[in-house]
Amino acid sequence: MKVIFTCGGTAGHVNPALALAGLIRQRRPDSEILFVGARRGIERQLIEEAGWPFRSVEISSFHRSLKPKEIRHNLVSLRNLIRSPGEARALLKEFPADLVVGTGGYASYPVIREAARQGIPTAIHESNAIPGLTTRLLEPHADLIMVGFEECRKNYRHPGKVLVTGTPVRGDFFTYTKKEAKQKLGMDDGRPVIVSFWGSLGASEMNRQTARFLALEAAEGRPFHHIHAAGVVGSRQMTAYLADAGVDLSKTPELEVREYIHDMGTLMRAADLVICRAGASTISELTALGVPAIIVPSPNVTHNHQEHNARVLADAGGAVMILEKDSSGQLLYDTARSILKDDTRRAEMSAAMASLGVIDATEKIYAAVMALRRKK
């Protein structure tokens, strides 16, 4: 069996494809798998680091601006769009796939579209509550659309094509129980554990608010363990933010700021509360683990999809959503404190979050695409 995965743009689009590819290789060792993405996207690095073969198509985004630089960019993108169907045809001739699965990103469009035209079974996995542009364009052509939550179905014109599978979560998130994770981290002294992050690059304003949050924790006598990831860019700014807030981390060992959290699975498992954005991967991790959250969705994303993601969790009772324009270090701290000081509320939020989770999402997706291939 030959399978093409096409994805890119963000790690949230790539990770579900990597998870499914791994399961296919485990269940069907004779399968041939090829990943296809954009030439200059983050996907190449992630996929090649995972050991999978990668091919690219020349595809790029369109920018909503009339500045000369952006017009030139859009002209290049238009040229790429015109050329991409031919690239997809050549690729499918060289690698005659039995199944093509797209998990988001612009590169998915020409490959899924051409595969559908040739009658090859095609499936899309959409991690976000609101379908992205690529998913919306491909909806009439793909055979199957897989989504994270039941609430997502109403956002499609062909709900009969939609199957709720959840979004895969890496296996290392389930290595330990909560108790074991806290013991491993040395945070098992009875104080609640907070984990916060605003993305791999960080967010300047939210890191500034987090510094104020840490100052309030220090002033109260450090009632919680708190690990914050400031991001690659944010970590360089965080020293000044902490100084402005009057925080000396050398005197507060329970409060820690890192550039990046490498042991995210263990920390998320130990967490009693997570404070974060609302990216698709983060949402799937929170629901799979049943961790209460305070979510400040990024306002700088296409179609405001993070707010829609966060609202699904907030409406279910698993999270408190605060819009960035309303957020402050004081409000974040007061909200976190009220949740962590109320065991009943925290337990209810945890149960609500877990009710949305799909722990076996990869298995569900595997079963769905295998059934699709047999049917066609």
pLDDT of 364 over the 80 cut: yes
| Domain range list for the chain | 2-168+359-375, 172-355
For the structural domain made of 2-168+359-375, what CATH number should be given?
A: 3.40.50.2000
Name the pLDDT band for 79 (thresholds 50, 70, 90): low
Higher local confidence (pLDDT), 159 or 202: 159
pLDDT at 73 (0 to 100):
45
Residue pLDDT, tens place only, 121-145: 999 999 999 998 889 999 999 999 9
- Of the candidate CATH numbers 3.40.50.2000, 3.30.750.24, 1.20.1250.20, 2.40.10.10, the domain formed by 172-355 belongs to 3.40.50.2000
More reliable by pLDDT, 14 or 333: 333
pLDDT of residue 360: 93
Q: pLDDT digit string (tens) for 55-75? A: 988 655 545 655 666 556 455
Indicate if 172-355 has the same CATH topology as 2-168+359-375.
yes
For residue 324, what pLDDT is reported? 96
3-state secondary structure the chain: CEEEEECCCCHHHHHHHHHHHHHHHHHCCCCEEEEEEECCCCHHHHHHHCCCCEEEECCCCCCCCCCHHHHHHHHHHHHHHHHHHHHHHHHHHHCCCCEEEECCCCCHHHHHHHHHHCCCCEEEEECCCCCCHHHHHHCCCCCEEEECCHHHHHHCCCHHHEEECCCCCCHHHHCCCHHHHHHHHCCCCCCCEEEEECCCCCCHHHHHHHHHHHHHHHHCCCCCEEEEECCCCHHHHHHHHHHHHCCCHHHCCCEEEECCCCCHHHHHHHCCEEEECCCHHHHHHHHHHCCCEEECCCCCCHHHHHHHHHHHHHHHCCEEECCHHHCCHHHHHHHHHHHHCCHHHHHHHHHHHHHCCCCCHHHHHHHHHHHHHHHC
Instruction: Label residue 78 by pLDDT band (50, 70, 90).
Output: low
